[in-house]
Chain A
Amino acid sequence: MQAGAHAEVHAGHHEPTSFWRKYIFSVDHKVIGKQYLTLGFAMAIIGGFTAFLIRWQLAWPETEAPILGLMQESGFFGPDQYNAFVTMHGTIMIFFVAMPILLGGFGNYFLPLMVGAPDMAFPRLNMMSFWTIFVASCILTASWFVPGGPAAGGWTSYPPLSADPNLSGVNWGGHLWLLAIIVEFASFLMGGVNFMVTTINMRAPGLSLWRLPLFVWMEITAAVLFMLSVGPIAAGGIMLLLDRTMGTGFFLPARGGDPLLFQHLFWFFGHPEVYVVLLPGFGMILEVLPVFSRKPVYGYKAIIYSTIAAGILSFVVWAHHMFVSGIDARLATPFSITTILISVPFAVMMFSMIATLWGASIRFATPMLFALSTLATFLVGGVTGIFLGSAAIDIYLHGTYYVVAHFHYTLFPSVFLGGFTGLYYWFPKMTGRMMNETLGKLHCLITTVSFNCVFIPLFFVGIAGHMRRIYNPLQYEFLKEIQPTHVFVTYAAIVLILAQSLLVINIVWSYFAGEVAGDNPWNANTLEWATSSPPPHINFETVPTVYRDPYDFSEPGAKQDWTPQWVPSVRGVS
């Protein structure tokens, strides 16, 4: 073991020269991070296109959708295909966009840099985790092409609909969906082990846990939450696969099973999973807020304790997804209380982020604009959770567009607005070049405005009683009046999707022609800025020693308004 670990570290010193070892089967966490980001963005194109088709159908039911006609006989699609789009949109966005980008991408690239490590603790395991999720993505993508089409039972895949091909008409698509999810879980288990071991064992000298950047805290909390919660859903997925293929009856009443068992297993994982994709987004805006405010984060330890508290609470709230599912009605109130209590740690985090701006000197560069947009937008998602957390109100709002709007307001800020925050902030470190500020600000403005134009109206649509996952709202008398709202929302969604071309243009242009960044273009303090941009193969020429907290900005007595973690004395900066 000892010898093997030594050989690993030693091997890491030599940068591979062959194309395959350097760019494809690389063990360098930075290359793997970029592979995850590429995979996430590629899957986001499919996820975004399915969102477009869903919106098209809701605004102009049963008309010919553009672009789709190029891929199949015509742009018309029926309810079976609509259900498949809904299912694949959710699955792709959560498991193949949010997690690869936030954990696999930014986590892989920046966690070792921020803790001052030459690489992840287990570089080969890291490579394997990427190629495992790559296989999972291939399996999921392949399911579009099998007879019967892809899974169409919703991203929650509730049995009995998902347990018996005769009930859904989806055969191989359902098998492949489950297989893809299970393989994806295996991938993130490997990643989670790496995150934890790297953070615990490979921190630079002087970097105590209480000096870790908040992004690292958020990433490892997310990794721990994932690893503790994934067991039940992996078991549930395998049981469901057995029900589908082997004729077992874990979830089928006719064979002695219980459909609700799957919901318990799913949501025991599902709620911590929400924080798995939420916390890294928070971590990124918490890196950006102090740098562009030139102030320490307000209540650093309070944020960490709140994060851990929210993580623990997330294991005892799962039945709030099941208030009207048929569970014992007396269970609702205890779960309603734990759910509403989640607002306490999140209030601490939100208030601390806002208080960070107090007495600041704010520079509104693109990363900061995205961070503030994330914060302002996430607040909507936070407060609307209180409505749904009340079991009584949930009777009416459950399963409506109110829920859809609520969780898009929590996940979109974290994954996309937070992800863009991280991308604009760290792009100079990853490529050595700055991104274009004008394009970036325009991208931020249009994305924020159009996102709100999509999802604010959907709260009202939900209040009108509009069920999610229905193919054609015009079939219902009580929904006819809200059709113009659907049209407006679809236009806004098209703007939101098209606005992302600004990001693509900016990335391509900046990569080749952006201003040269230098090591520390934002005058930031954390260790990733101690090395060159982009960092060399083993990250640091000499391993830095850490002397101070991660956010020592504007410290009294310092010559300049930032004091990096690797600087011994306030007056030592030259």
Chain B
Amino acid sequence: MSELVDLTAAQAAESVRAGDLSPAELLSAYRERAEADELGAFLWLPEDPPGAAGETVAGAPAAGDAPLAGVPLAVKDIFCVEGAPTTAASLILEGYRPPYTATAVERLAAAGAPMLGKTNMDEFAMGSSNENSAYAPVRNPWSVDRVPGGSSGGSAAAVAGGLAPWSIGTDTGGSIRQPASLCGLVGLKPTYGAVSRYGMIAFASSLDQCGPITRDVTDAALLLRHLVAGGRDPCDSTSVDFPEEIQLPSSERLDGLRVGVVSELSEASTIDTGVKAVFDATLERIEELGGGVEQISLPHSEHGLSAYYVLAPAEASANLSRYDGVRFGLRSGDGDLLSLYERTRADGFGDEVKRRIMLGTYALSSGYYEAYYGRAQRVRTKIAEDFRAAFERVDLVVTPTSPSVAFRLGERTADPMAMYMSDFCTVPMSLAGLPAISIPAGLSEGLPVGFQITGPAFSENRILAAAHALAQAIGFDSSPARGKAGAPAR
């Protein structure tokens, strides 16, 4: 069985197609491991596992001849699945079972990736360590006293810990890329609008995107292909048709590729030296593979974090107003309307969620709107312009993904600012709506270090191709047990 769970999802699908493996075997192997979860990665597993009754929760057959061959998928608990508990790791949604299924989950299920279970996360995707889950923190399979990152920490830990072949998460300011980085995985945030947000519980609507967290670049490409293949979702007005088919990457060289290193994000004092060393070594690899590396500037990117922590809480403050105890989820209070609102929200939301609702409410208040929300929007525009200018000179832009490797549980919980700094390198791309991938590039202190590659809107194929070539050359082993032992020297 250990061999089976060592396969990447694409390899597992290949074995199914070759007749060496059945979807049921695959599912029960992962199901068994997910049931024995000691990482806190899963919040819920179906009582009747998908495939057992020949059906997935989303209703599609887990057939071996489907494109994704029945390889089961770990789904962040932010995605609504009809009839399945969906909490966004918040007490306020305890017991809530949505009456419908998210487009992303439905499309992947239809392509043959049934839902394995719902994964843990920071409450309403607000956090960078998964310690803001109302249910349990998640542990990093590389070192169980460390965080897996967040907010898609459960999805990352499940894949890194071999409890799931692959997963989907959501990324608002880094919530796919940062946990992928901290768990030695590939995490891709697609271009804003590429993947439907319908059924994805909103944190900050203008930033939220669904994307894959996988063991390698090919798996990420495969999931993305089926996330966008259905075209624009009529249920999401901000979704668009992806202009081309997502290719499974095969390139091993980077000849002629112009890569820009963002000085403001890569040279910053916030970047740990161990992370910087891996980053610099990766730049050398790019040159070895035929790519050209040059320094570029995104002058406004340093202000990305400040703008983000105005805009995202502002949108969140409205997005979370619907949790009022009237129609679904938790209801507290003594029957009076005001106490219904106040007690439900006081009891139901955790500290970080309350902090952001207050921040956002303040930023939108009459008299402060221009100074905060208005100015943050202008910074956002400037950052997008910076990227546009950069992509006139280079094909791709690179930075470290996270300023540090996985930190210890509890290390940053008392200091929200330190926690917010985790998103320093990932937020500018989110603000600009650009696609970005994090791939594991090596170890520091025995822990994975991610390398972030960003391209223009809808350049996912270019990003995946480069990420694939680079990952092949790096040869990172995504299994914590083997990876720690036989990792590249750097």
- Is the A/B pair a real complex? no
Residues of A within 8 A of B (CB): none
Residues of B within 8 A of A (CB): none
